[in-house]
Amino acid sequence: PSKKTPFITFVLGGPGSGKGTQCAKIVETFGFTHLSAGDLLRKEISSNSENAVMILNKIKEGKIVSPEVTVKMIQRAIESSENDKFLIDGFPRSEENRITYERIIGTEPNIVLFFDCPEEKMVKRVLSRNQGRVDDNINTFKKRLEVFTALNLPVIKYYSGKGKLYKINAVGTEDEIFEQVRQVFAAYEV
Ligand code: UP5
Ligand code: MG
């Protein structure tokens, strides 16, 4: 039996802008399933899959993994879930990512959240996270930020042009930021 077309939210923002933190709150309040592309890739590394070494090297360099790999991972996660609403966190990171997703999945997201955060806040948050991520060091942070600016901002612009973008001010307490996020989903009644 074919499932209902799911409600898809892309969650974008620079490194350390608070995507994962806010996604956890959206899951609690609105019952979404959270798919962090970065977490899915890190899972591939720890399961020693055929792509593990390639993925680890990309993450260490702050570079973007081939979109076929990432989209297949997302597709599997959506298809194996019973839920019909998903947060896709940290993807698409480039126009190539976006176009590959549309080609393989065949749809566009319903809405896109953009956590807008100044660099000095993001770098502080990343360097004080202390969860042992191989990319949480100042050198890799700089590369992640460069890639974000060059490749991810055009995607954000694209969705803004389509009227799908919700820009969130990502400075403040977690609860202050979530209040803006809550209003977006409340309006959609999802
Ligand atoms: N924190 C959160 N909110 C706060 C607040 N309001 N005030 C103070 N502190 C706050 O938050 C970061 C830290 O800040 C945490 O310690 C948190 O407690 C605190 P978090 O919610 O984790 O921020 P997030 O935006 O999720 O940061 P993250 O580092 O995960 O973002 P990235 O986009 O850099 O990382 P991601 O995991 O998405 O990707 C990692 C790498 O994977 C990429 O660089 C790339 O190499 C690869 N990748 C791909 O190749 N393709 C993909 O599609 C996805 C990833
Ligand atoms: Mg994250």
How do the pLDDT tens digits run along the chain, 190 residues long?
A: 556 789 999 999 999 999 999 999 999 999 999 999 999 999 999 999 999 999 999 999 999 999 999 999 999 999 999 999 999 999 999 999 999 999 999 999 999 999 999 999 999 999 999 999 999 999 999 999 999 999 999 999 999 999 999 999 999 999 999 999 999 999 997 8
By C-alpha distance, which of 26, 42, 17 is closest to 85?
26
d(CA 92, CA 11): 9
Please give all residues whose beta carbon lies within 6 A of any atom in ligand 1, as ranges.
Answer: 13, 15-21, 37-38, 41, 58-59, 62-65, 70, 90-91, 93, 125-126, 129, 135, 144, 173-174, 177
CB atoms within 10 A of CB 21: 15
Reading the block at residue 171, the tokens are 């400075």
